[in-house]
Structure 1
């Protein structure tokens, strides 16, 4: 995929002539944050990060979703951090959608361009800087890692979407595929962050109901998505946040691909 395949927030503000009516929703089962919500007035800032702003898309909330946070982070030229993560129990995935960022991981430098993907286990030694001429934008998904006796903590790794072959979902003839960055049989991992792709006309043909929480950021295209009992139109730049057991399905009507970055929690006992 090339750089234009990934939606990048532009910030700014809607004009005073814009209608207030929008697709923004927050319900007992799901939330939809439309792309235009990521404006200047909803941006946040973090200590230890220079020349950086971010939009918080998800955070644990009692009675809603509880396992993860997700940010879209914009780093200006010369910006970044030598101490990015304050919680040593947190694991993370970074996914770059614009610009070029330099990740230093355990002393080794990796240049992450659009499509660049990094998994960072808890306690990883890393820093991130923008040494380019334009802004760099990435998704930062964080989760408190759940340790299990007898299982090692996963190793850090860096890859690119372009180097990972999508896997067709059974019986779909390629209309629905998933780019998986972690082997599903690797039980060391307690979260998966994948990219899901639908060809025009592709669909999830039944309402999925499962224990995994989801964050879905639309990277490209548009579709209608079933969330609980509501069919909602979504497009590039929108974010969907689903609590456990929220019914979900979708239909990608085209004219191009419909693609999203998907978080889910996996491979652990339910806490009692």
Structure 2
């Protein structure tokens, strides 16, 4: 696949807020179980936003935080920054690392004095303890996913440095025996054990599937960027579409069928590369 084709495939859902009319039914697809949580896009309204005190001109939707009976290794939020907004000191915990993925607008990120402007599809890995800031210097809203995880040092291995890129410029890996219909773009090197988590873009063409129930120790956060699918979560089949979010605890069985007519794409978090602490 050429980079031109990758760019043509790229789409990122970012349409949140507002308030439904009184005539709407309250029934929705939101689900919370001890194995998984589904937060559909229709519940990401103005009334459920959070404010982070380190930021100005900003609101957020917290999608995951460590809770009993749920995923415990990470926090994930959608952050919306108005023009002129941002933060000089976004991270209140020095031991916490971050990953940013932009879904709309532009975000200027500075780390240790180096400034990068992230467009749609742009990402940044920001190590624990790094001096970084983020601002919207444009004229439109900037919206990004912010994944935070306490870094787990590895004896004899130096912690990773900052990483910047754009998924549109990366060649995805093709999953075996899928004729390219299931692809994974790995934005952090999974072979580098300095990283204790990974963030990928997973793409399924219409009709493609995960043909077995994945059951593994890695927790997941899945945000649907484009398309729709039927996702198998534990013993349930759940319909999901662009803008929906799924949080999966360790060992939750998972599989999916991509429904079409467009590609089904999602942003995936997973913890990895560390021994189990007992």
Coarse TM-score class (shorter-chain normalised) = over 0.9
3 and 76 in structure 1: CA distance in 2 versus 1, 3 angstrom threshold: farther
Does residue 256 (structure 1) correspond to residue 265 (structure 2)? The answer is no
Give yes or no for contact 2:10–2:168 (8 Å, CA) kept in 1: no
Give yes or no for contact 2:196–2:274 (8 Å, CA) kept in 1: yes
Residue in structure 1 matching 2:113, options 107, 110, 115: 107
Does residue 190 (structure 1) correspond to residue 218 (structure 2)? The answer is no
Deviates most, 180-189 or 258-267: 180-189
Counterpart CA distance in 1 for 2:189 and 2:159 is: 15
Give yes or no for contact 2:124–2:163 (8 Å, CA) kept in 1: yes
1:145 corresponds in structure 2 to: 151
Does residue 11 (structure 1) correspond to residue 29 (structure 2)? The answer is no
- Matched residue SS, 1:5: coil
> Alpha-carbon deviation of 1:105?
1.3
- TM-score under structure 2 length normalisation: 0.96
Residue in structure 1 matching 2:89, options 77, 83, 87: 83
> Alpha-carbon deviation of 1:2?
6.5
1:166 corresponds in structure 2 to: 172
1:230 corresponds in structure 2 to: 236
Counterpart CA distance in 2 for 1:270 and 1:230 is: 28
- TM-score under structure 1 length normalisation: 0.98
Give yes or no for contact 1:3–1:114 (8 Å, CA) kept in 2: no
Residue in structure 1 matching 2:103, options 71, 88, 97: 97
Does residue 58 (structure 1) correspond to residue 68 (structure 2)? The answer is no
2:187 corresponds in structure 1 to: 181
Counterpart CA distance in 1 for 2:28 and 2:189 is: 38
Instruction: Please give the per-residue CA displacement for 1:117-152, whole angstroms capped at 9, x wherever unaligned.
Output: 100110111100011111100000000000111011
Instruction: Please give the per-residue CA displacement for 1:35-58, whole angstroms capped at 9, x wherever unaligned.
Output: 011100010001120000000000
163 and 4 in structure 1: CA distance in 2 versus 1, 3 angstrom threshold: closer
Aligned residue-pair number: 272
Counterpart CA distance in 2 for 1:168 and 1:221 is: 19
Superposition RMSD in Å: 1.1
109 and 2 in structure 1: CA distance in 2 versus 1, 3 angstrom threshold: farther
Give yes or no for contact 1:77–1:135 (8 Å, CA) kept in 2: yes
Structure 2, gaps ≥5 residues long: 1-6
